[in-house]
């Protein structure tokens, strides 16, 4: 599979999330979008960047106090950093919200379709026969990711997929249903559909996590990993 074979750019959308109506014999099983706040925290690293700016502001105030500044002057000296932090975090939130709003994930009886792209919507069609492995990562709020590892010889550019891609898999990008609410329920829909389409060749495994994280049996063959 090449990017041009499966990525379709379009201006009109006859069916929500799809570039064309479903053909005869194909049924819609599930459709949804990322939740913008979990997407901001996971894909755009909102928490980490907020902590970084918080440490920088604290360091600026501490150094000012150590130089003999008053508490008021020390606080004033950190205002430029605070303004920068607010702007940067606001941009991340807007990007996460826009990305979630523009994205639609669709699971049919034969494929997974990712409609992605804020300025230029594109539809990525992934037939079940090209999915070699599916995994499930569930967070404490119930949202989660379902990465789809493609079979050998099939690859989609990481930059075209981001942020709808499994983190740190740049050499072998894995298209991912990212930050979806009730991820375990979606996995329960996808797993049997994959099994029905691919039979014994269908593989569902957990995402590898640090040992301190607890793994429990997931729905319909995918292992659920709670963080």
**Tens digits of per-residue pLDDT, 180-227?**
999 999 999 999 999 888 765 555 554 444 333 333 333 345 545 444
pLDDT tens by residue, the chain, 227 residues: 544 445 555 556 678 888 888 899 899 999 999 999 999 999 999 999 999 999 999 999 999 999 888 889 988 999 999 999 999 999 999 999 999 999 999 999 999 999 999 888 888 999 999 998 899 999 999 999 999 999 888 888 898 899 999 998 888 999 999 999 999 999 999 999 998 887 655 555 544 443 333 333 333 455 454 44
Q: Does residue 56 sit in the same domain as residue 151?
A: no
Q: Does residue 201 sit in the same domain as residue 136?
A: yes
Q: Does residue 92 sit in the same domain as residue 145?
A: no
Q: Does residue 90 sit in the same domain as residue 53?
A: yes
Per the structure, how many domains does the chain have?
2
Q: Does residue 136 sit in the same domain as residue 219?
A: yes
Domain membership of residue 25 (yes or no) is no
Q: Does residue 81 sit in the same domain as residue 146?
A: no
Q: Does residue 131 sit in the same domain as residue 227?
A: yes
Domain membership of residue 26 (yes or no) is no
Q: Does residue 207 sit in the same domain as residue 146?
A: yes
Whole-number Å distance between alpha carbons of 222 and 184: 8
Domain membership of residue 148 (yes or no) is yes
Q: Does residue 66 sit in the same domain as residue 147?
A: no
Domain membership of residue 136 (yes or no) is yes
pLDDT at residue 118, rounded to an integer:
87
Domain membership of residue 24 (yes or no) is no
Report the DSSP beta bridge partners of residue 104.
115
Q: Does residue 86 sit in the same domain as residue 149?
A: no
**Closest to 215 measured CA to CA, from 175, 177, 41, 205:** 205
Domain membership of residue 161 (yes or no) is yes
pLDDT at residue 120, rounded to an integer:
84
pTM for the structure as a whole = 0.82
Strand-pair category, 144-150 with 137-138:
antiparallel
Q: Does residue 223 sit in the same domain as residue 138?
A: yes
pLDDT at residue 199, rounded to an integer:
67
pLDDT at residue 19, rounded to an integer:
82
Domain membership of residue 13 (yes or no) is no
Structure tokens at 141: 């709020």
pLDDT at residue 206, rounded to an integer:
45
DSSP line for the chain:
--HHHHEEE-S--SBTTBSSPPPTT--EEEEE---HHHHHHHTS-HHHHHHHHHHHHHHHHHHHHHTT--HHHHHHHTHHHHHHHHHHHHHHHHHHHHHHHH-EEEEESSEEEEEE-SSS-EEEEEEGGGEEEE--EE-TTS-EEEEEEEPTT----HHHHTTSB-TT--SS--BEEEEETTHHHHHHHHHHHHHHHHGGG--B-PPP--TTS-EE--GGGPPEEB-
- Vertex 92: Cα angle to 88 and 32 (nearest 5): 175
pLDDT at residue 227, rounded to an integer:
41
pLDDT at residue 106, rounded to an integer:
96
Strand-pair category, 144-150 with 224-225:
unpaired
Is the CB of residue 184 less than 8 Å from the CB of residue 215? no
**Residue 166's domain spans which residues?**
126-227
Domain membership of residue 63 (yes or no) is yes
Q: Does residue 60 sit in the same domain as residue 148?
A: no
């Amino acid at each position: 599979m090449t990017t041009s074979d499966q990525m379709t750019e379009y201006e009109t959308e006859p069916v929500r999330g799809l570039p064309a109506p479903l053909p005869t014999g194909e049924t819609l099983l599930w459709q949804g979008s990322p939740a913008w706040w979990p997407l901001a925290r996971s894909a755009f690293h909102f928490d980490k960047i907020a902590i970084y700016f918080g440490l920088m502001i604290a360091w600026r105030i501490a150094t000012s106090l150590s130089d003999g500044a008053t508490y008021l002057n020390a606080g004033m000296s950190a205002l430029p950093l605070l303004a920068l932090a607010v702007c940067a975090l606001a941009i991340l939130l807007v990007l996460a919200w826009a990305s979630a709003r523009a994205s639609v994930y669709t699971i049919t009886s034969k494929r997974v379709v990712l409609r992605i792209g804020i300025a230029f919507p594109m539809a990525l069609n992934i037939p079940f026969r090209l999915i070699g492995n599916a995994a499930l990562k569930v967070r404490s709020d119930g949202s989660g990711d379902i990465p789809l590892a493609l079979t050998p010889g099939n690859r989609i550019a990481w930059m075209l997929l981001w942020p709808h891609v499994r983190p740190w898999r740049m050499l072998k990008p894995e298209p991912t249903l990212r930050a979806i609410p009730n991820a375990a329920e979606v996995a329960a829909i996808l797993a049997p559909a994959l099994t029905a389409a691919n039979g014994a060749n269908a593989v569902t495994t957990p995402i590898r996590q640090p040992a301190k994280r607890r793994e429990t049996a997931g729905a319909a063959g995918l292992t659920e990993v709670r963080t």
